Amino acid sequence: MVSRCPAKNATDDGPSSAVVRLFRERFDNFDPQWLIRCPGRVNLIGEHIDYSDYSVLPMAIEHSTWIAVGPSSERTVQLINEEEEKYPPFTLAISDSFSGASTNGAVPKWHHYFLAGWRGILESLAQREGVNTEAEALQRAKGMRAVVASRIPPSAGLSSSSALVCAAALATLCVQSADFGAGDGGGQEIFEHISKKELAEIATHAERFVGLEGGGMDQACECLARRGEALRIDFRPLGWRAVQLPENALFAVLHSNTEMNKTASAYYNQRVVECRIAAQVIAKQSGCLPADTDWRSVRTLRQVAALLGKDAQPEQMLTLVDEHLAKRCQGQQQQKLADGLHTREEICAILDCSDAQLAQWSLNANTQNMTEFWLAKRARHVYAEAARVLEFERVCREGREDNGTVAKLGELMNASHLSCAQLFECSCPELDQTVANCLSAGCIGARLTGAGWGGCAVALVDKNKSAQLEANGLHVLFWSEPCEGIEVFPFSG
């Protein structure tokens, strides 16, 4: 049976009622003033290319994070999670501020994600009102109390952490907006002061407080999604458009039974850096840079494609990847070199820079000790995956009623997973087996979704055959059609 989107009121059974009850229990029987709902997301195609500025194609899912929030007379941010044993309560004195979670490899706590959204909104409101110092911004900030309940499986590739950051940012906006001149808070009219697009950008930037250098796909989908539609999301500038999926398309989300916290590992940030350096090397060696710039100004693979006049046709960049990143050689190391394995010293020689300059202009806080970089493999994935996104959208647009449409979409999803596994190396044996199980059970296409290294796969199926697939032994976590993005509801008990 297909799941439906959550009801838009606070009296239904479920997480909305749970956060209200717990808010009353923990805060002297006071009612919250607002309820926030932010969905998770499943990426249908376009994995690990948002931070290279290429378009992605996700959809929001029913499973959401809910926050009940209200102002407090105390100068604190008081946070309660429905799962208190797993996620203990936390209180921050506003005067102490929040400069971010530790970057020493420790896993961020749940409250760090909330406080990242809180800090992001405070910074944005302060900038809008010309508040020049952190101390002044904190002095104007209201105390607040919040209760969180999430139905998004954690560490599953469904963007539970970004949903919490986005929801926390909106909750903070509701509480703080009057004091910062942004309005009186309230319902959907809050987005007249800070749009959903701006909220997504604020939340994306705020994730630096939990040590993640993401591209913005998760936040854009969770804030901008509309019921019944997938989204093609573009970056720099942020833009989006609806994608109508085939009438008979239904998506199954399946857990691989292994988790990966992407912020706790350097893997994610390593891929960001490898893509950045690949772009810088291509730019340097191809001679495409304007006379008044150098390689340090290049940050993404799409940027270098645009400099070469190939922005609209990313697949044309694959030849240049082979030319500039895949080193030619003979002997036992041939495959490694053909895949673009570069040492730190080799990259410095190509870019004509010191090791300290490479660390400053190309690495990030979590990758300072990297010594080897797989440049060609990562760039091949990005350019080919970017082309698959464009083709996925074209197939949806031109053949929505064609019986062959879902088959073509399935082929693109299968190719995407193969590239993620072999070129970007962000899969794992459990995910590969989950994808194989989907295909053997009769799914049309399947691929990992999210950062990878564990978590979930998404499978495309014919809507009329979902029961048959489960009878064939397909263990589905949930079925989903596209759901609505982030929402706020004034609460009146």
Q: Where are the domains of the chain?
A: 15-244, 265-378
- Tell me which amino acid residue 392 is: F
End-to-end Cα spacing for the chain? 32
| DSSP H or E segment with residue 396 | helix 375-398
Q: Which of 351, 321, 352 is nearest to 338 (CA)?
A: 321
Reported pTM: 0.86
Backbone region of residue 260 per phi and psi (left: phi > 0; alpha: psi in -120 to 50; beta: other values): beta
Backbone dihedral region of 415: left (phi > 0), alpha (psi from -120 to 50 degrees) or beta? alpha
* Residue type (1 letter), 229: E
Residue type present at position 420:
C
Residue 133's φ and ψ, nearest 5 degrees, are: -125, 150
Integer Cα distance of 101 and 109 in angstroms: 8
Sequence-ordered list of residues with C-beta below 8 angstroms from that of 429, at least 6 positions apart, any chain: none
Distance CA 362, CA 233 (A): 26
Q: For residue 448, report the phi and psi dihedrals to the nearest 5 degrees.
A: -65, 155
Question: Are the CB atoms for 30 and 51 separated by under 8 Å?
Answer: no
Tell me the pLDDT of the chain (493 aa) as tens digits: 233 333 344 445 588 999 999 999 999 999 999 999 999 999 999 999 999 999 999 999 999 999 999 999 999 999 999 999 999 999 999 988 787 776 566 788 999 999 999 999 999 999 988 887 888 888 889 999 999 999 999 988 899 999 999 999 999 999 998 766 666 666 778 898 899 999 999 999 999 898 877 778 899 999 999 998 999 999 888 889 999 999 889 999 999 999 876 554 679 899 999 999 999 999 999 999 998 889 999 999 999 999 999 988 999 999 999 999 986 544 445 666 677 899 999 999 999 999 999 999 999 888 999 999 999 999 999 999 999 999 999 999 997 666 689 999 999 999 999 999 999 999 999 999 999 999 999 999 999 999 999 999 999 999 988 888 988 888 999 999 899 999 999 987 6
pLDDT of 102: 62
Q: Which of 218, 339, 402, 432 is catalytic?
A: 218
How many residues can be counted in the chain?
493
Backbone torsions φ then ψ of 148, nearest 5 degrees: -115, 135
Q: How far is CA 479 from CA 61, 93, 462, in A?
A: 9, 42, 12
pLDDT at residue number 226: 92
Nearest Cα neighbor of 282 from 363, 383, 421 is 383
**CATH ID of 265-378, from 3.40.50.920, 1.10.760.10, 1.20.1440.340, 3.40.50.720:** 1.20.1440.340
Fold classification of 15-244 (topology level): Ribosomal Protein S5; domain 2 (3.30.230)
Determine whether 218 is an active site residue.
yes
CA angle 166, 167, 171 (to 5 degrees): 120
> Identical fold at 15-244 and 265-378?
no
Strands (E), 203-353: 230-234, 239-243, 249-255, 341-343
Check: CB of residue 272 under 8 Å from CB of residue 50. no
C-alpha span between 389 and 397 (Å, rounded): 12
CA 163 to CA 222: how far, in whole Å? 7
The Cα–Cα gap between 196 and 39 comes to 14
DSSP three-state, residue 379: helix
List b or e across 209-245, with b for residues whose CB sees 16 or more CB atoms inside 10 angstroms. Answer: bbbbbbbbbbbbbbbbbeeebbbbbbbeebebeebeb
φ, ψ for residue 40, nearest 5 deg? -75, -175
Q: Output the CA–CA distances (angstroms, integers) from residue 255 to 140, 189, 313, 388, 430, in the order listed.
A: 44, 37, 34, 24, 9
| pLDDT of res. 472 | 83
Report DSSP state, residue 404. Answer: T
